[in-house]
Chain A
Amino acid sequence: MTTPAPAPLLRASGLWKAFGEREVLRGIDLDLAQHEVVALIGASGSGKSTLLRCLNLLEPIDDGQIFLGDVDISDPRADANAIRARFGAVFQSYNLFPHLSVLDNVTLASRVVHRMPRREAEDRGRELLARVGLVDKAKEHPDRLSGGQQQRAAIVRAIATDPEVLLLDEITSALDPELVGEVLELVRELVGDGATILMATHEMGFARDVADRVVFLDDGLIVEQGPPAQLFTAPQHARTREFLARFTA
C-alpha cells in the first residue's frame, strides 16, 4: 500500500435517468481523477451522451449523486449555472453561435458568466485561437469555417474559461474523415497539457492512444472498464467483445 489514491475530481454514483418510459441510465458509478482521460465507448443509444449531459447538469437526473470535488452538485439547492460554468462541453455538431463571430463565441462565457472585461477576454481568446491556428478567423462568422475549424473553435470556446473537467461528446462524428485528424490533434494537445477529460467517442484508435481508462457502456450500464490495452485486447465480457468485434470488423 502506497499513498492513498487522491479523491476523484468528479464522482457519479448510482445515476438513474429515464426519458418517459425509456430508462437510459440505470445506475452508473463513475469516477474521474484530476488529469485523467477517460473514453466512453458503446453503441449509439447506450447512454453516453445522456451521461455526459447529466454530469454537467444539462439534464436533471432521476436518482443518484454527482460530486465535483467534494461538492454535491446534484443537490437541487446547488447553483446549477455556476456549476455548469466549471465544466467545458463540446458537442457532436459544434453548436457554435451562428450570429456571433468566432472570437465572440469564444469570449461569451468569459464576459457574461465570469464578468471578465471584454479586452482581457478577447486577448485571451485570440491567444487560444492562435494556438489552434484560427486567429485569422477570429472576426469571421462560424458558417465561413470548415467543419474541422468550427469544431476546433468550439473546443477553444469550451476551454476559454479554464474548466475543471472537459466533456467531449463524439466531437468528430459529424466531420468529414479528412477533417477528423486536426480535431483529434487538438484534443491530444489538451491531454498533454494535463486536462481532465471524459469523452464519448467512436474513434477506437484514438481512445486507445490517449485514454488512461476506457469505459464500455451498454444499455445504460457500465459493463466493463479498464486500461485501453486490456479492454481492447482482452475484454472480459461477451457484450464488450461483441461490440468491439462489430466495430473493428
Chain B
Amino acid sequence: MLVAVASTLVFAGIIWATVINTPGWASVQQSFFDPEVALQALPKVWDGFLINLQVLGLSVITVALVALLVAVLRTLRGPVFFPVRVIAAGYTDLLRGFPFIIVLYLVGFGLPTITNTRMPVVLLGVIAVTLTYSAYVAEVIRAGIEAVHPSQRLAARALGLGHVQTLRRVVLPQALRKMTPPLMNDFISMQKDVGLISILGAMDAIAGARSVASLTYNFTPYVVAGILFVLLAIPTIRLTDWYTARLREREQAGAIL
C-alpha cells in the first residue's frame, strides 16, 4: 500500500515536471485549458449537455424495447418464422456494419426530406441511435439467451411452462446476468455517440462548445464538453468493472462447491 502510494506520487511528479517543462506547454495550456474560457463556456455547454442526456435517456428505453423484440424474433424456431428470422438477422448485420454517422445523416436529413415535415432534432437523434444500437444490443441479448443451457428450457417446459413463461421466468433472468457486462459497454459507447447529434444542428453540448470556441478562438470549450461526457461515463465504467468482478467471484465460488 505504502509502496503503491509512493510510486504513484513519484510517477505523477515526473510526468508533471516533464509536461510543464515541455516547450510549447504554455500555448497548449492557453488554448486547451484556459480556466476563464472554461467558465465562460460551461453554462452553454451544460445546457447543450442536457439535450444529449435527453436523447440518451429516451434512447435507452427505445433501444431496450426494439433490441429485445429483434432478439426474440431471431430466436424463434420453426420453418414458419424463417422470413422473420431472416429480416431480423439482415437488420442486425446491416446496422452493425453501417457507420453511425451515415445513419445519422440518413435519418437526420433524409427523414425530414422524404416526409417533408420538420421534426425535432431530439426525435431524429433518438431514431438514429435506436436504429444503430438496437442492432448491437439485440445481438448481445440473443447471445445471452443462447448461452442459457438448453436443459434449463427443457426443465421449464417439463413443468408445463409455456414458451413465453419459460422465456420470462427461466431464460431471460439467467441471460440477463450474462448480458450485463457487454450491455454496459454498449451503454458507454452510446453515451459518447449521442454527442454526434450536433451535426444535425442540435444545440447540444458539442454545438454549444463550438459556438463558444469560435467566439474565443480557444479550444477549451471542447475540453469542457469532453470532461462532461467522461464524468457521465465513469460511473457506468466503474459499475461494469465492479459487476464483472462480482460475477467472476460468484462463478469461482460456485465452481468450488
The interface of chain A, by Cβ under 8 A from chain B, is: 53, 56, 58, 81-82, 84-89, 91, 93, 95-99, 108-109, 112-114, 143-144, 157-158, 161
Closest 7 A/B residue pairs (Cβ): A85-B160, A95-B155, A109-B159, A89-B158, A113-B160, A143-B254, A84-B160
Q: Knowing A81-B162, A144-B257, say if A95 contacts B154 (CB, 8 Å).
A: yes
Q: Knowing A112-B165, A143-B257, A144-B257, say if A97 contacts B152 (CB, 8 Å).
A: yes
B169 near A: Cβ within 8 Å?
A: yes
> Which among B154, B162, B169 is the interface contact of A108 at CB below 8 angstroms?
B169
Query: Within the assembled complex, what's the spacing in Å between the Cα atoms of A113 and B157?
Result: 10
Give the distance to chain B from A176, nearest Cβ to Cβ, in Å.
13
> Which among A58, A82, A143 is the interface contact of B158 at CB below 8 angstroms?
A58
A58 touching B154 by the CB < 8 A rule? yes
B167 near A: Cβ within 8 Å?
A: no
The interface of chain B, by Cβ under 8 A from chain A, is: 151-152, 154-162, 165, 169-170, 173-174, 177, 254, 257
Q: Knowing A93-B151, A99-B174, A143-B257, say if A112 contacts B157 (CB, 8 Å).
A: no
Closest residue of chain B to A147 (Cβ to Cβ) is: B257
| B152 CB contacts on chain A under 8 angstroms | 95, 97
B177 touching A99 by the CB < 8 A rule? yes
Query: Within the assembled complex, what's the spacing in Å between the Cα atoms of A223 and B233?
Result: 67
A84 touching B154 by the CB < 8 A rule? no
A112 touching B158 by the CB < 8 A rule? no
A91 touching B160 by the CB < 8 A rule? no
| A143 CB contacts on chain B under 8 angstroms | 254, 257
Query: Within the assembled complex, what's the spacing in Å between the Cα atoms of A143 and B157?
Result: 22
Closest residue of chain B to A112 (Cβ to Cβ) is: B165
> Could you give 13 example pairs across A and B, Cβ below 8 Å?
A58-B158, A84-B158, A84-B160, A91-B151, A93-B151, A95-B151, A99-B177, A108-B156, A112-B169, A113-B160, A113-B165, A143-B254, A161-B159
Q: Knowing A98-B174, A108-B169, say if A157 contacts B151 (CB, 8 Å).
A: no
